[in-house]
Amino acid sequence: MGSLEIPANCLYGCQTKRSLINFPIGGIESKMPLQVVHAMALVKKCCAEYHAEIGLMDDKVATAIGEAADEVMAGKLDNHFPLVIYQTGSGTQTNMNVNEVLSNRAIQILGGEVGTKSPVHPNDHVNKGQSSNDSFPTAMHIAIAKMITETTLPGLETLHNSLKEKSEKYADIVKIGRTHCQDATPLTVGQEFSGYAMQVEYGIHRLQNSLPSIYRLALGGTAVGTGLNTSKGYDVAIAARLAKAANLPFVTAPNKFEALAAHDSLVEVSGVLNTVACSLNKIANDLRLLASGPRCGLGELSLPANEPGSSIMPGKVNPTQCEAMTMVCAQVMGNHVAVTIGGAQGQFELNVFKPVMVSNVLHSARLIGDSAKTFTTQCVDGLEVNIARVEELMNASLMLVTALNPHIGYDKASEIAKNAHKNGLTLKEGCVASGHLTAEQFDEWIVPSEMIGPK
C-alpha cells in the first residue's frame, strides 16, 4: 500500500489519499464530475445550517462549513477533488473527499490547523445526519437537474426555435420528397423542416416530463432508507432548503428505500436523452445529405462555410457541424448503455453503480445541450435553400406521376413512369408518348404546388 502522506497545501485527508492509492484508474476523462462535488457541497451547507438551527451544531462551526461550501461551489477549490468515478459504487470516497476538504477549509476559516479535525470534524460535523448512501444520490439528482435545466433544455429550445423559423421562412418552396432514399411526391421545404422542429419539441417535452422524478431527493434515508441518526421532519426540511438554494422544485423522496436501492429515474432521463440523440442524429444526417455536393450531390441546401474542409483539396467545404452532432449522438447512445447496465446493478438496499451512472447522464446532458446550441448557431441559423436546384430536381422527378392515379389509374401511371425512365424521357414526354393523356391534361393535372396536401 502506498504512503498516506498528504501533499503540502492539500485540503483533503487520508480517506481521499487511500482512494487515490486504491483506485488509480483512468485519466482526466475518468474524474468525478465537479457538478457532483459542487452539489455535495450544497448538501453539506444546508445540513449544517439545519443542525445549527435546531441546536445540534455550534453556529460558528455551521457558518464555517457554509463558507467553505460556498468556495467549493464557486470552483475555488476544484483542485482538491482528484478522485475518479471508478470507486465504491455508493460514491463513499467522494463523499469523504468532500467531508475532508470542507472540514479542513472550515478549520482554516476558524483559525485552526488543517488535519486536526478540530473544531470541525469531517464526519461528526460535515457529514452529520448523512450517509454516503443518501447524500451522494441527492447530489446526483441536484447535479443532473441543474445540468438539464441550465444547459440541455436551453440548447434544445434554441435549436427548436431556429428550425421552426426555417419551416416558416421556407413554407412556400415546393421540393421533391424522398422515401427509401428514392424520389417520392412533393412537399415544401417548410413542411420538411417542421418535422425536424417537432422532433426537437417532443424531445423537450419528454425531458421536462422526466424531471419530476429527478426532483425527488434521497437525503434523510441515511444508510438503508430508515433515516437512522436523523430526526423526524429532517428530510422534508432539508429538501426545502435545497430547493430554495438551487431555485429548483426539489422535494424529499416519498420512499427512501427506493431512492437508495434503485435509480430508475436516472435510467429514465438517460433514455430520454438517448431518444433525443436519435432525433438529432436524423436531423443532422438529413441536412448533411440535402447539402451534399455542391455540384455532384443533392445540393438543395447550402450550409455555412465555417472553415476549410480539406488540407489537400482547395475550396472544399464539409458539413462539420453535422458530423460533430452525429458523433455526439453516438456518444450519448453509448452512455445510455452504461446507465442502463448501472440501473440494473446493486443488491438489496443499495444500487452500487451510482458514480458511473451520474457521470454518464451528466455527460449526455451536457453534450446534447452544447451541441444543440452550436449546431444552431453554426449551421441551422445560416443555412440557405438553393431554390434553382430544388426546382430542377423536383421537375426532373418521375414520381410526380402519382398525381395521375385518380385520372388514369395506378397501372397506366406506373407504365408511364417506367417507360420514361427507360427511354430517358421527361415525365411530360412520357405521358404524351403513352397516349393516355394530352399535354394539356398533363399541365392541368401535374401541378406540384397542388400536391403538398389533401384536396
What's the CATH number of domain 147-388, 1.10.1370.30, 1.20.200.10, 1.10.3720.10, 1.10.260.30?
A: 1.20.200.10
- Catalytic residue (choose from 310, 363, 397, 449): 310
In the chain, residues under CATH classification 1.10.275.10 are 14-128
| Distance (Å) of CA 201 to CA 155, 189, 208, 219 | 12, 18, 11, 33
Known catalytic membership, residue 51 = no
The amino acid occupying position 129 is G
Give domain 14-128's CATH superfamily: Fumarase/aspartase (N-terminal domain) (1.10.275.10)
Q: Give the C-alpha separation, 202 to 157, whole Å.
A: 11
Residue 202 contacts by C-beta under 8 Å, 6 or more apart in sequence?
279
- Catalytic residue (choose from 180, 194, 311, 436): 180
> How would you write the pLDDT of the chain (455 residues) with one tens digit per residue?
577 888 889 999 999 999 999 999 999 999 999 999 999 999 999 999 999 999 999 999 999 999 999 999 999 999 999 999 999 999 999 999 999 999 999 999 999 999 999 999 999 999 999 999 999 999 999 999 999 999 999 999 999 999 999 999 999 999 999 999 999 999 999 999 999 999 999 999 999 999 999 999 999 999 999 999 999 999 999 999 999 999 999 999 999 999 999 999 999 999 999 999 999 999 999 999 999 999 999 999 999 998 888 899 998 989 999 999 999 999 999 999 999 999 999 899 999 999 999 999 999 999 999 999 999 999 999 999 999 999 999 999 999 999 999 999 999 999 999 999 999 999 999 999 999 999 999 999 999 999 999 98
Give domain 398-450's CATH superfamily: Fumarase/aspartase (C-terminal domain) (1.10.40.30)
Residue 359 contacts by C-beta under 8 Å, 6 or more apart in sequence?
32, 33, 36, 85
Q: Give the C-alpha separation, 224 to 227, whole Å.
A: 8
Known catalytic membership, residue 363 = no
